[in-house]
């Protein structure tokens, strides 16, 4: 067959018929804003930007651990200058994003309200900045816990640089503080960035003590109202979830009710275990792999798929 013998298809029409698509998308936006009582006046974005939050977290990671998570060309003699400059930039950016979460928009018509929102945002970020040394100390305890518990860890630097559980905890320690201070949306954005990167899903509302170690990590889920003590160790695919939750007259879930487990100090929970409801796992207990647990257990208890035993000898309950 020659080129002359081939039947050429007609060239597709250039462009697309976007007028009806644009009209339908406009209607969808207008309907959504009306249904949720959102502003329709011209102006900037109404909510924090995910890319801005990820940039802020990257800067905070570098400021907390400059010679390991900071820029590759950083030298120790300029470490302090780098940390000071980085915090100045990222905390200013964070204040802008917090102001958006609190309801401030660059085009806000009421100057007094705008000024009040910005003052609240700066106060919140100031408190957050003052907590950074405490967050660094908590993270140091997490690194040491992982290094001490994992025979495969060759150095504390390996833990910080390589372990997904450590990356998730850096995000969580930052997010939890912002959540407690009154920026829950930004906190959730930070935690979900870690979730996407590591497969570890920790709600920023969860309270986690010092020396926390997630081994391997993928598939771990920790709910909003979970309370975890010091020296706790989880393995992959562990769930600390809700068994049930109350609803209102319309069938919607009531927010903020305690519904996740309390895990006391020095507990170990092995891979695939599911712990549900507002139950307490007593200090020093060991929960075996793939266990489904919906009842509290006293301190020093060993729970496996086959049976439950109470440890009585000194030091029992830990491995």
- In this structure, what are the phi and psi dihedrals at residue 291, rounded to the nearest 5 degrees? -75, 140
The CATH number corresponding to 206-247+256-319 among 2.10.109.10, 2.160.10.10, 3.40.309.10, 3.40.50.970 equals: 2.160.10.10
The residue ranges of every structural domain in the chain are: 47-199, 206-247+256-319
What pLDDT digit, counting tens, does each position of 201-259 carry? 999 999 999 999 999 999 999 999 999 999 999 999 999 999 987 788 888 888 889 99
pLDDT of residue 254: 84
Q: How far apart are the first and last CA of the chain?
A: 77
**pTM: predicted TM-score of the whole model, two decimal places:** 0.87
Average pLDDT, the chain: 90
More confident residue, 152 or 6: 152
pLDDT of residue 46: 83
Instruction: Tell me how far apart the alpha carbons of residues 212 and 28 are, in angstroms, rounded to a whole number.
Output: 45
pLDDT of residue 309: 65
- 141-160 burial, b for 16+ CB within 10 Å, e for fewer? bbbebbbeebeebeebebbb
The CATH topology of domain 47-199 is 1.10.3130
State the Cα torsion 67-73-78-84 to the nearest 10°. Answer: -70
């Amino acid at each position: 067959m020659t080129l002359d013998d081939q039947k050429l298809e007609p060239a597709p029409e250039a462009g697309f018929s976007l007028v009806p698509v644009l009209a339908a998308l406009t209607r969808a936006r207008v309907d959504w804003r009306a249904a949720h009582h959102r502003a329709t006046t011209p102006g900037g974005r109404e909510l924090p930007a995910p890319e801005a939050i990820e940039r802020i977290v990257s800067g905070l990671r570098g400021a907390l651990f400059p010679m390991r998570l900071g820029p590759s060309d950083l030298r120790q003699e300029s470490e302090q200058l780098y940390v000071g400059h980085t915090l100045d930039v990222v905390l200013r950016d964070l204040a802008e994003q917090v102001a958006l979460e609190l309801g401030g928009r660059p085009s806000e018509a009421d100057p007094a309200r705008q000024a009040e929102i910005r003052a609240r945002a700066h106060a919140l970020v100031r408190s957050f900045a003052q907590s950074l040394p405490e967050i660094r100390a908590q993270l140091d305890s997490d690194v040491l816990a992982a290094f001490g518990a994992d025979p495969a860890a060759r150095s504390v630097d390996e833990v910080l640089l390589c372990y997904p559980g450590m990356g998730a905890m850096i995000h969580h320690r930052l997010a939890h503080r912002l959540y407690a201070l009154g920026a829950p949306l930004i906190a959730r954005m930070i935690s979900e960035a870690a979730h996407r990167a590591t497969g570890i899903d920790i709600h920023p509302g969860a309270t986690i003590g010092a020396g926390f170690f997630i081994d391997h990590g993928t598939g771990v889920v920790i709910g909003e109202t979970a309370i975890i003590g010091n020296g706790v160790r989880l393995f992959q695919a562990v769930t600390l979830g809700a068994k049930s939750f109350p609803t209102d007259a319309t069938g919607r879930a009531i927010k903020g009710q305690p519904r996740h487990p309390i895990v006391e100090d020095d507990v170990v929970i092995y891979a695939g275990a599911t712990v549900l409801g507002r139950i307490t796992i007593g200090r020093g207990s060991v929960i075996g792999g793939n266990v489904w647990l919906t009842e509290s257990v006293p301190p020093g208890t060993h729970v496996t798929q086959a049976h439950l035993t109470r440890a009585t000898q000194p030091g029992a309950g830990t491995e």
